[in-house]
Structure formats: structure tokens, C-alpha cells
Chain A
Amino acid sequence: MSYFRITLQRSGIGMPKRTQGVLKALGLRHRMATVFYPVTPEVAGQIMRVKELVSVEEVEKPLTKDEVRAERRPDPGFYLETAAPR
């Protein structure tokens, strides 16, 4: 089963009430918020209503909130090679 990965790229401020309602129904509260939904005709129709505001990707499995955060976090870039006696 595949999922839509929907990210709100542009804010819904200034959009008609119907459009803002769709964003609310998708759970997209602020820009760059990411949600995952299974690929169904209902969700596809919702995406069509806000297609100018979101970016959509099809993924195999949904990520948790922590996993999405971990994607953005840069690599530490170092590791402890030799520890001093402590």
C-alpha cells in the first residue's frame, strides 16, 4: 500500500474558506508541515483542491513525526575515535 506524502509549501492565508477548510481537514496547519495519507480517491480529490499550495510525493510507508524531523537534521559530522582516560 502506498501513501501520499503531502507538504504544505505555501500558506493558506488569503485563500477562500473552502480551501482553508481542506487544509485543515488534511491536518496541514502551517507551512512545511508534512502529513501522510493512504492513496485513495478521497485524498486525491482533497489534494486537487489545494494543488497550488502543496507538494505531493508517493511513498511506500508513512514516516512518524520523529522520522520526518530526523530527515531534516544534519549529520553530526564527527565521532569519538580515541577517548582520553577519564
Chain B
Amino acid sequence: MFSRAIRRSVLDAKITSTPTFPPTFLLPFGARYLQTTTQHIDPPPQGLDAPKLPLKSTPEQTNSVTSIANHVRRSVPLQPAPIAKPLALDPSITEMLPLLAAQPSHYITIHIHGKPYLVTAGDTVRLPFHMPGVVPGDVLRLNRAANLGSRDYTLKGAPYVDERLFECRARVMGTEAEPLRIKEKKKRRNRRINWVQTKLKFTILKIAEVKINRLEELQRVGQESL
């Protein structure tokens, strides 16, 4: 156990000291074995028809969403119906949001299944669970944010920021697996020993985009819907 910790720390030190460390797949087999995590790409689920899925070039979004509803496993939430309630904006938001949008980079506290993740564009998030029904390359829209801010301004949600004010997208990069854990199960006065193996998978997301929508567009869309 201790030697493994030393080995890992040496390995980490090597990585940090040499910034041009080759990616894992270029390393010799032995070095790859030393890496604590491995990349697992799930085989795509059967029975899915690629042309019917909403690819980037698909112009009509509503039709494609209904068509993937039949094909993608129900465990992935699909696009909900647009919010009918008109956007009610506080005067302070209409005043300060352009200032927030004008500053260059933004951070956002997104909530996935009620758990907060403070991220900015380009971040990689390892979710603490395996998200069912997604494959690498899927783009998820994250629509629950508690905070949205820049260097000087923060828009706080109560409890969440209105999802029409911003656009946050994440790309599914794949899954990562933890090292195999083996737990010894032994009862007293009994020689039988059971070794329970655990190897959990975790979904990796990369935050592709954090954008604040322009107020004029929001108001124009609101007037059109009225």
C-alpha cells in the first residue's frame, strides 16, 4: 500500500516536472499499467438509427427531439417543452446583466441532480456517477445554475438562475473507471472469506460553452411569444 503511494507520487512528480508528457496511449504497456484510471468507451446501444438523431446540421429541432425520444434510452432527459411563462426580469438584472456579459470569461455553478459543480468553459468534470444512456460526443445542455459570474459581477439564483438567461453546454468525453477495489468479507468463527470486487465507472464531461444571452434577444423572443 505504502509503496504504491510512493510510486504514485513519483509518477505525479514526473508528470508535473515534464509538461510534454506523452498521452497515455503512447506510453509503453508497463507505464500504462501504472496509471490509476483507464478509459472505457461504452459500445453504442443497439437499435439506434444514426440519421434520425439530432445531429448538428439538423435544421428542425422539434422534429428531431421527438424522433430521438423513441430511440435513445429513456434514462437521458430529453429537451423539455419551452417555458410558457414570460421572462420577468428584475430591474437590477436588466441593468447589470450587460456588464456581466461584457466581461470576458464566466464561471457558473451548475447543479446536476442537485449537486453543485463550479465550472468555467473548458473544464473537465468527472461526475461521481455513471450517466446512463449517453455516448461520447453527446452534447448536454445544462440548465440549472445557482450562480453565474465573471471577475467583478455575480448573478445569484434564488435558488436557480432563470435558464433563459444563459446557455451552458457540456460534451460527454467518455467514462473513466476507478482502480479495482477488493474488500475482504470475513465473519467470526467461520473460515469462509468472500472478496467483493468494486470497479465503478464515472462519466467525464467537458464544459464546451458558457454563454450569457443578450437581453434584447430575450425580450424580442418574449414579445413574439405573446
Contacts and interface: CB of A to CB of B under 8 A. Distances in A.
Interface of A: 74-86
Interface stretch (B6-14, B27-35, B85-93, B109-117): B109-117
A80 B76 contact: yes
Given A79-B78, A85-B50, 9 more contacts: A78-B112, A78-B141, A79-B141, A80-B68, A81-B140, A82-B55, A82-B56, A83-B135, A86-B50
Report the interface size class on chain B. 20 to 34
Consensus secondary structure, chain A interface: loop
Given A74-B114, A77-B113, A84 B136 contact: yes
B11 to A, nearest CB: 32
A24 B135 CA distance: 49
B201 interface: no
Consensus secondary structure, chain B interface: loop
A79 B163 CA distance: 12
A78 B140 contact: yes
Given A86-B44, A86-B50, A86-B53, A79 B143 contact: yes
Given A74-B113, A86-B48, A80 B138 contact: yes
Nearest to B58: A82
Contact of A76 (B54, B112, B139, B172): B112
Given A80-B138, A83-B138, A84-B137, A75 B76 contact: no
B66 interface: no
Contact of B138 (A76, A77, A84): A84
A84 B50 CA distance: 8
B135 A86 contact: yes
8 contacts: A78-B142, A79-B80, A80-B68, A80-B78, A80-B140, A81-B141, A83-B54, A83-B55
A53 B134 CA distance: 45
A78 to B, nearest CB: 5
Contacts of A77: 110-114, 142-144
Interface string B137-163: 111111110000000000000000000
